[in-house]
Structure 1
Amino acid sequence: MFKDTRAFSGYSVNDIPKAKSFYRETLGLDARDGVMGLLELHIKGNNPIILYPKPNHEPATFTVLNFPVKDVEATVEELKTKGVKFESYDFENFKTDEDNIFRGDGPYIAWFKDPAGNILSVLQE
């Protein structure tokens, strides 16, 4: 039914100008003003990701956007120089290291938040 649709993802933020600055300047994405006050994130090979303003926004408690990268360590280091703060997790079977990188089963991955508190990640391809 939906296999040939041009599906897209979206999530809310509480401040579109702040989000636009973060996604454009900090993360280097093509962030464009959309219709009706939306923000569109244009990422290679995908339909735009839509960020919409929501005055009573509550951040997602799960990862809303993942960025595959060749080198998680280098990416984390570069983002930290731009002021990005990474999350630390210390659960029994789920711990990030001193560099805020999870190196357990699966790909190396590190999580951070956008200005609205939504959780994003970088993960090694």
Structure 2
Amino acid sequence: MLHDSKAFSGFSVDDIEKAKAFYADTLGIDVGEENGMLRLKIAGGTPILVYPKSNHVPAEYTVLNFPVTDIEATARELAGRGVTFEHYNNEQDEAGIYRGQGPLIAWFKDPAGNVLSIIQE
């Protein structure tokens, strides 16, 4: 039934203008705005919907992962743009990059508290 549907993901924020500035200016993503919602235009062509919610509660999981080829350089660039990386355990270095089992990954939050990551390809 939904086999041919071009599904897309979405998540809420508590302030659309702060979210727009963060995703466009800080992360450098092409952001469209339509009917009071944002569409993040990412590589691959499938947009991500960001919608306002007055009783927004940040997700307790990673809502969006950004694959990168050089996580150290990307982490430095984002930190230079004011992004603060989360530290969840002792297996993360000073930059916030997790170096345990699995791929290299670093988590950070958007202004609404949603968890995002950069992850080494």
Partner of 1:14: 14
- Work out the CA distance in 1 between the residues paired with 2:68 and 2:3: 27
| Worse-superposed segment, 5-14 or 97-106 | 97-106
Q: 1:3 to 1:103 in 2, by over 3 A?
A: farther
Match of 1:87 in 2: 86
Residue 57 of structure 1 is matched in structure 2 by 56
The match for 1:103 is 99
Runs (5+) with no aligned partner, structure 1: none
Q: Partner of 2:72 in structure 1?
A: 73
How many pairs does the alignment contain? 121
Output the CA distance in 1 between the equivalents of 2:50 and 2:114: 11
Query: SS where residue 119 of structure 2 aligns?
Result: strand
Task: State the shift of 1:96 in Å.
Answer: 1.4
- The structural deviation recorded for 1:46 is 3.1
- Percent identical: 60
**Aligned partners of 1:69, 1:90: CA distance in 2, in Å?**
22
Normalised TM-score (structure 2):
0.95
Instruction: Give the whole-Å Cα distance in 1 for the aligned partners of 2:69 and 2:81.
Output: 19
Structure 2 CA distance, aligned partners of 1:4 and 1:45? 17
Match of residue 45 from structure 1 = 44
d(CA) in 1 for partners of 2:100, 2:66: 18
Unpaired runs of at least 5, structure 2: none
Per-residue deviation at 1:2?
2.7
Q: Equivalences for 1:110-125 in 2 at 5 Å?
A: 110-125=106-121
Q: What's the CA shift for 1:86?
A: 0.3
Quote the Cα distance in structure 1 between the aligned partners of 2:68 and 2:4: 27
TM-score normalized by the length of structure 1? 0.92
